[in-house]
A and B are shown apart, each in its own frame.
Chain A
């Protein structure tokens, strides 16, 4: 997946001289995950800029760059560090277009790896997507495949709205799928049916999609047919796509890496019960991390929902009588 992101950045920078990349260690090093590897050599130090270590001014100056006529792509090294920039993202980026009554659109993308599973040091891995979906004015995208990472990033970079582009820490190297060489875009707000099924709808995004698919394979051997939905973007949200699946299965499980309370799963439960109440055969379940801080790497496998847990909980859901 990391190659797909890099290819997208390279192609879009080639195509549009207004695109600049700023962030910590994005230059010679190519980013701590190498998403920007080689970009500075290709496009120069003016377009790929190593920023001082201060997330607030990295995002805040990105706002100014966008107003000046550029199209910045900002790398936040880890979403856990997004707290240091939260006032600029939540209060400034998301609202400037509204506050200026349309005068200043912000065509900027904030890319950030999020979620866990790769044994980072403390305070790096966090799945705080719900902070940002609760921020009107900001679009939130979270691809699960390399194909989508390239196409959705291109779409995000073409958008005149600010986009938080969440990349799965665990999927950077693990996720491998076919990616066309040419430029293409994947629209925001259209979910992907990762696997078709008839008994249960299992909704996930980002790294959790892979877990959902592995669980679906095991459940299939038990005779349970699981439809896996990859949301791709959380705002905009593909409500018709969710309805279509739920009307077919009548049973829903939501899987996310984030803690339970107030997670984006809560929003989905509320939406589905309102839109699909009479299709539901049993209560919706959420499979998530506990309501505790993201732990040290040695115990993160106990924290993030794994395939066994999904198999067990979705299996039980499929067997719940209507």
Chain B
């Protein structure tokens, strides 16, 4: 009987899929920061520069979180725990020709690409001026509607390729966003048109309070790439060198016309989802502590120490420089005048309808004088 045949063990899915074991993430550094026997994928200077972005991120996150508690900053998502993942990916890009299509937890990637830190702060303070992207900075605005940026990144990469450019696009998203249709539709299209795009999936274990196991029954996110004819890679997201190496090779492949790559960066959100979240309601304390032991900043500092080029004094100097840089940006943001009602209307259209322009005048009159 047909029904019995479908239910029988002979028709189980294992007939169609190879039963491969879980793939160990690619890594270069041991948990204590010792490099394997191969050669380092980044120069020492490049590692120190990357570490600076990681420290800058930590300083900014602490400052913004403390300002949020005082009512001086809006709801905001810190990068805590994922610094190596974001910086390792960003450090493989050439800001002059490559594009970032972000989600919202990629502060250091955006700053490295040229997005002014004060604009990032203004955005989270609720000032539309924060949305200003300088003309030479190749990025799209941060995306809050999860996964909606992925088709846009795919189209952008495809368009650059069509026009003969050699730019590559990287788009960031999480394990949660990969459940959206936009993720799947985009991988499918990117595979077909060989778009020079890198899908950088940060598997940080959580979508707010929903654990990774509730997003997919697949053994890894990276293996989903197979179904779209796209190459998938898993990397240890807390290993700066490994993330950089994998991303740099995906960038080189894309630039040479080899098409897209899905990178699953396995990391852990050791902070809250955002400042409005209370992870103590759902997170396993032991698991959290386990991941805190794998702190990506400590790990890369240990690597530099193992090479004899890092000490407490240098670390303190870097931290102080970063703190100063954050202070400057926060002061600019704080001293930026509050937006007027024009901020509701400006830039909605290239050629605005008269009706909206009439409303703009009405709003300005009601809020203290016409423009």
| Chain A interfacial positions (CB closer than 8 Å to B) | 20, 46, 49, 51-52, 54, 56-57, 59-70, 87-88, 91-92, 96-105, 136-137, 139, 159-161, 189, 235-237, 239
| Inter-chain contact B189/A61, CB cutoff 8 Å | yes
| Inter-chain contact B347/A60, CB cutoff 8 Å | no
B192 contacts which chain A residues (CB < 8 A)? 52
| Inter-chain contact B348/A64, CB cutoff 8 Å | no
B:112-148 near A, CB below 8 Å: 128-129, 131-133, 135, 140-141, 145, 148
| Inter-chain contact A136/B356, CB cutoff 8 Å | yes
Interface CB pairs A-B, < 8 A, 26: A46-B162, A52-B188, A52-B192, A57-B189, A59-B151, A60-B182, A60-B185, A61-B155, A62-B155, A64-B155, A64-B159, A66-B155, A67-B155, A68-B155, A68-B156, A68-B159, A68-B165, A69-B159, A92-B145, A98-B131, A104-B140, A105-B350, A139-B349, A161-B349, A189-B353, A235-B353
The yes or no answer to B65 lying at the interface (CB within 8 A) is: no
Which of B132, B133, B151 is A61 in contact with, Cβ under 8 Å? B151
| Inter-chain contact B151/A63, CB cutoff 8 Å | yes
The yes or no answer to B153 lying at the interface (CB within 8 A) is: yes
B140 contacts which chain A residues (CB < 8 A)? 67, 96, 100, 104
CB-based nearest B residue for A18: B163
A136 and B131 in contact, given A61-B152, A88-B151 (Cβ under 8 angstroms): no
| Inter-chain contact B350/A99, CB cutoff 8 Å | no
A57 contacts which chain B residues (CB < 8 A)? 151, 154, 182, 185-186, 188-189
Distance of A265 from chain B, by nearest CB (Å): 17
Which of A60, A103, A236 is B155 in contact with, Cβ under 8 Å? A60
Which of A97, A103, A239 is B348 in contact with, Cβ under 8 Å? A97
The yes or no answer to B181 lying at the interface (CB within 8 A) is: yes
Report Cα–Cα, A62/B189, bound state, in Å: 12
A59 contacts which chain B residues (CB < 8 A)? 151
The yes or no answer to B278 lying at the interface (CB within 8 A) is: no
| Inter-chain contact B349/A137, CB cutoff 8 Å | yes
| Inter-chain contact A91/B145, CB cutoff 8 Å | yes
Contact with A along B331-354 (1 / 0, CB 8 A): 000000000000000111111011
| Chain B interfacial positions (CB closer than 8 Å to A) | 101, 128-129, 131-133, 135, 140-141, 145, 148, 150-160, 162-163, 165, 169, 181-182, 185-186, 188-189, 192-193, 346-351, 353-356
Distance of A110 from chain B, by nearest CB (Å): 14
Report Cα–Cα, A66/B181, bound state, in Å: 22
Report Cα–Cα, A67/B171, bound state, in Å: 15
Report Cα–Cα, A97/B133, bound state, in Å: 11
Report Cα–Cα, A98/B153, bound state, in Å: 18
| Inter-chain contact A65/B347, CB cutoff 8 Å | no
Report Cα–Cα, A46/B193, bound state, in Å: 10
Distance of B68 from chain A, by nearest CB (Å): 22
| Inter-chain contact A92/B131, CB cutoff 8 Å | no
| Inter-chain contact A100/B151, CB cutoff 8 Å | no
| Inter-chain contact B346/A102, CB cutoff 8 Å | yes
Which of A68, A96, A189 is B163 in contact with, Cβ under 8 Å? A68
Which of A52, A103, A137 is B189 in contact with, Cβ under 8 Å? A52
A64 contacts which chain B residues (CB < 8 A)? 101, 151-159, 169
CB-based nearest B residue for A20: B162
B350 contacts which chain A residues (CB < 8 A)? 97, 105, 159-161
Q: A57-B182, A64-B152 are in contact. List 4 more A-B contacts (CB 8 A).
A: A63-B151, A68-B160, A98-B131, A98-B347
| Inter-chain contact A65/B156, CB cutoff 8 Å | yes
Q: Which of A62, A63, A189, A235 has the most chain B CB within a 10 Å cutoff?
A: A63
Distance of B225 from chain A, by nearest CB (Å): 16
| Inter-chain contact B356/A87, CB cutoff 8 Å | no
A101 and B129 in contact, given A46-B162, A237-B355 (Cβ under 8 angstroms): yes
A104 contacts which chain B residues (CB < 8 A)? 133, 140-141
| Inter-chain contact B152/A63, CB cutoff 8 Å | yes
| Inter-chain contact A239/B355, CB cutoff 8 Å | yes
Report Cα–Cα, A46/B101, bound state, in Å: 24
Which of B133, B193, B351 is A161 in contact with, Cβ under 8 Å? B351
| Inter-chain contact A54/B189, CB cutoff 8 Å | yes
| Inter-chain contact A61/B131, CB cutoff 8 Å | no
| Inter-chain contact B157/A70, CB cutoff 8 Å | no
| Inter-chain contact B159/A70, CB cutoff 8 Å | yes
| Inter-chain contact B141/A96, CB cutoff 8 Å | yes
Report Cα–Cα, A6/B243, bound state, in Å: 49
Distance of A152 from chain B, by nearest CB (Å): 14
A63 contacts which chain B residues (CB < 8 A)? 151-152, 155
B188 contacts which chain A residues (CB < 8 A)? 52, 54, 57
Distance of B102 from chain A, by nearest CB (Å): 12
Distance of B121 from chain A, by nearest CB (Å): 15
